[in-house]
Amino acid sequence: MNMIKQELRMNLRSLITWCLSLLAILILFMLFFPALSDQMEEFQKVFNSFPPAFQAALKLDTITIDSIMGYYQFAFSFILLGGAIQAMNLGVAIISQEVRMKTGDFLFVKPITRNRVVTMKMLAALILITMTNLILGIGASIVLLITDAQSFDLKTFLLINGSLFFTQLFFLSLGLFLSAFLKRIRTVLPLSLGVVFFFYVISMIQETVNDPKLRLISPFDYFNLAEIMERMEYNAFYLLLWMLLIILFVLGTYWLFRRKDLPAI
């Protein structure tokens, strides 16, 4: 418990910053909704003049403005991006923290196993991600209810918000795995930004080419928002793939970290 408390303490400020930023993005998008819904036809004309591939990549073809949930789903794709960066950042940072901050000679000489350190850090990260989702979920539902309470649909809302939680868990475990795999991480942000944007670009390509094989390596599309809206459920195959990968990353993290040499200062 003492370790979880310590990790939560150290990540509290970053948690607050991320929650506020993600909420700010959402509110910003939602502020445009009344204006957009009035002039949607005009916008649609402009969007239609873009090349179809471009429209697909920017997910413009998925904006269905007749309901607020459709617009929310469009706005949420940017929350997913931000959330992925947060989760990846957390995953990479939390295990490499001791090495980066040179506090390894403090923590790892304590009477605890490496596995226990990893477990405690994972639990702390899980708590942080869950808190992010709770805060964002509550914030988003308030924003939606204020904007248009009538067309608010709880099931759609939960499915869309759930995709943030699942996507974040994916990037969290990927980040944990990478930090256990890489010999020494000096700075976290460039690494996590790089990986997340790499997958975001893949997702953009995937939107245009729509290739099932490419979708296998496109975690942003495991929980494809447009598809979720249409089918009102998650795609079972990709849910399974998601689960499998997370298990692999988590086990890999334990395996690699257990035998890792901690660099001297």
Partner 1 sequence: MNVIDINGLTKYYGKHKGIEDVSFSVEEGEIFGFIGPNGAGKSTTIRTLLALIYPTKGSATIFGKDCIKYGHEIRRDIGYLPSEVFYYEHMKVLEVLKYSASFYDNVNPARIKELADIMDLDLNKRIDDLSYGNKKKVGIVQGLLHEPKLIILDEPTSGLDPLMQQKFFDLIRKENELGATVLFSSHILSEVQKLCHRVAIIKDGTIVDIKDIQEMRRNNYKKVMLEFDGIIDISHFNLPGVTRLTLENNVMEFLYKGDINKIIQRLQGVKLANMLIEEPTLEEIFMHYYQKEE
**What are the structure tokens assigned to 208, written together?**
């245009």
From candidates 40, 78, 104, 135, binder to partner 1 by CB under 8 A:
104
Stretch that binds partner 1, among 43-51, 108-116, 131-139, 215-223 (CB under 8 A): 108-116
Q: Where are the alpha helices (H) located in the chain, listed in sequence order?
A: 2-38, 40-49, 52-57, 68-100, 104-107, 114-148, 154-181, 189-209, 212-216, 225-231, 236-258
**Residue 119 binding partner 1, by CB under 8 A:** no
**Residue 58 binding partner 1, by CB under 8 A:** no
CB of 17 to partner 1, least distance (A): 15
End-to-end CA distance of the chain: 28
The radius of gyration computed from the CA coordinates of the chain, to the nearest angstrom, equals: 20
- Closer to partner 1 at the Cβ: 69 or 99? 99
- Cα dihedral sign, 245-17-81-229: positive
Give the span between the Cα atoms of 134 and 137, in whole angstroms: 5
Give the span between the Cα atoms of 125 and 249, in whole angstroms: 15
CB of 104 to partner 1, least distance (A): 7
Nearest 5°: phi and psi at 50?
A: -75, 155
**Residue 123 binding partner 1, by CB under 8 A:** no
Stretch that binds partner 1, among 98-106, 135-143, 157-165, 217-225 (CB under 8 A): 98-106
For residue 36, which amino acid is it? L
CB of 38 to partner 1, least distance (A): 49
Stretch that binds partner 1, among 15-23, 143-151, 222-230, 254-262 (CB under 8 A): 254-262
State the Cα angle at 219 between 43 and 128, rounded to 5°. 100
Alpha-carbon distances, residue 9 vs 55, 115, 124, 217 (angstroms): 43, 21, 10, 34
- Closer to partner 1 at the Cβ: 120 or 228? 120
**Residue 240 binding partner 1, by CB under 8 A:** no
**What are the structure tokens assigned to 264, written together?**
């001297």
CB of 113 to partner 1, least distance (A): 5
CB of 109 to partner 1, least distance (A): 5
CB of 116 to partner 1, least distance (A): 8
From candidates 4, 25, 112, 239, binder to partner 1 by CB under 8 A:
112
**Residue 17 binding partner 1, by CB under 8 A:** no
Q: Which residues bind partner 1 (CB under 8 A)?
A: 2, 6, 10, 101-106, 108-113, 116, 259, 261-262, 264-265
